[in-house]
Amino acid sequence: MVDPRKSVLPESFIQVADLAFCGAFGVSLAIFGIQFAYRYFVLTGHSFLATKKHRNFIIWLGSPLIFASIWTFSCATFMGRNEFVDQVLRENVLPNKLDNLEIDRLAFLGVIFFPKLENSTKTTINLDSFYAMGICSAVLSSTEFIMFFFAIKTYLATKSFMAQASGSTKLKRLQWQLFYATVSQSCIPIFFMQIPLTAIYISTFLNSSSIIFGQIQAITVSFYLATDALPTIFIIKPYRETILDYFRCINIDITFVWPKRRSGDTAGGTNSNIQAKLP
């Protein structure tokens, strides 16, 4: 949910921005699997998909957009507001958390599986939420399948390549480092994005969700963005050595100044001057 009073975007654009955000999430999910597929085809020298042609450029960049389009379509069609969602928002959300904001101004994307009937304690089934969960789960599962499938094939291809290659030990070590960096970069979004999202879906489906799950995912997504590049930096030796050499070249001069005791002072003091110098 986005409160238009707290957004810098035009009010008419907030719902579109919500959908764009979801589409970007779909792109991220697809990239995890696509990067393994691309590395596998490059490693095996696939003549159709690993050559420098405009066709391949479109295929590799267009594939994540296909997943993102399906994800966005699901959000736009089945995760928007309907009579069930509006009732829940009016009764539980707007009065308590949004200061009775007009419901038509609220940007919303989400799922409510078992809303209560109006003026009743009985619950009903919101089929739109089930459709949305089915499509998004299919996208999530397919990207994970692609990732694990090509991760295994990449491992076997790398192992075979290393056994047959007559190159230097340095080249072989670099190939393994590239593989491990790719694996690590895929594990990070699994823990920081996919697992929290799965927890939200399952808890919502069991009608036992809590706002803390959304807050946790908001934090973990930020961790993902901050840590995604670290495996490449620290696993691949040339990158790692460059970073470490940069910090080694920093000379820190620390000068401690002990002032003399002045007449009338009951205690002395210490001052320190710390300066970092780059050669």
**Averaged over 44-49, what is the pLDDT?**
72
How many Cβ atoms from other residues are within 10 Å of residue 158's Cβ?
20
Read off the pLDDT of residues 189-200 as tens digits, 9 standing for 90 and up.
Answer: 788 887 887 888
- pLDDT bracket for residue 73 (50, 70, 90): very high
Total-model pTM: 0.70
| Rounded Cα distance, 56 and 46, in Å | 11
pLDDT at residue 278, as a whole number = 47
Q: C-alpha distances in angstroms, 250 versus 110, 245, 273, 277, 279?
A: 50, 9, 17, 6, 7
**Averaged over 150-175, what is the pLDDT?**
76
| Rounded Cα distance, 179 and 125, in Å | 46
